[in-house]
Structure 1
């Protein structure tokens, strides 16, 4: 019986250590739906950031956004030099995967970050404006 309790206790400890090690690292950010994102970027105090490649950005982007490729190894330093830390950042990519990566990096550096849920694809599906 003692052996079973020890094995059970060890299993529970392993489970909890695995769960806690999977927590996201970096700061907090908020994923928001298209309508809330549209309201956010209408505020001139919000910085809108497209984290796709330059080629993707040139094919169409949200008006007023700036482009910094999150897959570029210099992403963090370029973002630091272009973005203002005292203003929130609204970030997006094509589908939402890369923008979440950028949101973790930026929020970890002290930025207040809003991530567009479902990315530019969701934005376009909702009939929102883009420009080239």
Structure 2
């Protein structure tokens, strides 16, 4: 296993549209729109909800609006032994790349 890098980042172009990602934004941001395969755990809830983190064979991408909160989550989760990477540019970059943004009911969402 490679040594974990808390600064590890992944470009949105390297993530499939339906990939499992951990979204650490707040509830109102999530409700406005999120990646189709995202699992929502707000940043402040991450330490108490480790059991809710999805298991993946690859490093788990962590996303927020622009990369700041997800960067903090990646640094902390890496220290806890999780294999995670920060999504460079967050949901703003995801949306700008033309990737799908959905609401909980499957409709078209937006990034706020």
Fold shared by both chains (TM-score > 0.5): yes
State the TM-score, normalized to the length of structure 2: 0.77
Give the conservation status (yes or no) of the 8 Å contact 1:69–1:75.
Answer: yes
Segments of 4+ moved more than 4 angstroms: 84-87
Is residue 28 from structure 1 mapped to residue 5 from structure 2 by the alignment? yes
CA distance in 2, matches of 1:126, 1:33: 10
**Structure of higher RCO (CA pairs closer than 8 Å, 6+ residues apart):** 2
**Residues 57-86 of structure 1 deviation map (CA, whole Å, 9 limit, x = unaligned):** 00000001111111x2x42121x2212567
Shift of 1:38: 2.7
Structure 1 segment 61-100 matched on structure 2, within 5 A? 61-70=34-43, 72=44, 74-78=45-49, 80-83=50-53, 87=57, 88-100=59-71
Structure 1 segment 1-132 matched on structure 2, within 5 A? 28-29=5-6, 30-38=8-16, 41=19, 47-70=20-43, 72=44, 74-78=45-49, 80-83=50-53, 87=57, 88-132=59-103
Give the conservation status (yes or no) of the 8 Å contact 1:103–1:115.
Answer: yes
CA distance in 2, matches of 1:121, 1:69: 17
Count of equivalent residues = 98
CA RMSD across the alignment: 2.0
| Residue segments in structure 2 that go unaligned for 5+ positions in a row | 104-112
Aligned to 1:20: none
Shift of 1:34: 1.2
State the TM-score, normalized to the length of structure 1: 0.66
